[in-house]
Amino acid sequence: SLNELSELFKEKGVKFYVSFPPIPNNVDVIGDAMELYELLVAKGIKTIGKPADFSFPCSSFYDGIPHLIFSAAEKRTLIFNNLIKKEL
């Protein structure tokens, strides 16, 4: 499980984080992803951002989730980079 993996990494001195894939900017999808986020936080597993940080308009996906068009992928990379810098 993620919790066991997180504990193993802690024992070995490895930092372990979970990040979220791009998701549609949809209340239901973000709500489901937030439930996962809250579960991870409750188990002490660190995340890079929250699901809403990686939400994009449906027009940003080209053939389904999680495939972003180029401009949205660049934006996601910048968002991720800025969030991970805060953890380093």
pLDDT one-digit tens code per residue, 31-40: 999 999 999 9
Q: What is the CA angle 7-9-10, rounded to 5? A: 65
Confidence band, pLDDT 50/70/90 cuts, at residue 2: confident
Report which of 21, 18, 24, 74 is spatially closest to residue 46, judged by C-alpha positions. 18
Tokens of 34: 């937030």
Alpha-carbon span 49 to 19, nearest angstrom: 7
35 φ, ψ to 5°?
-60, -40
pLDDT one-digit tens code per residue, 12-70: 999 889 999 999 998 888 899 999 999 999 988 899 999 999 999 999 999 877 899 99
Confidence band, pLDDT 50/70/90 cuts, at residue 84: very high
Alpha-carbon span 72 to 11, nearest angstrom: 37
- Cβ atoms 15, 54 nearer than 8 A: no
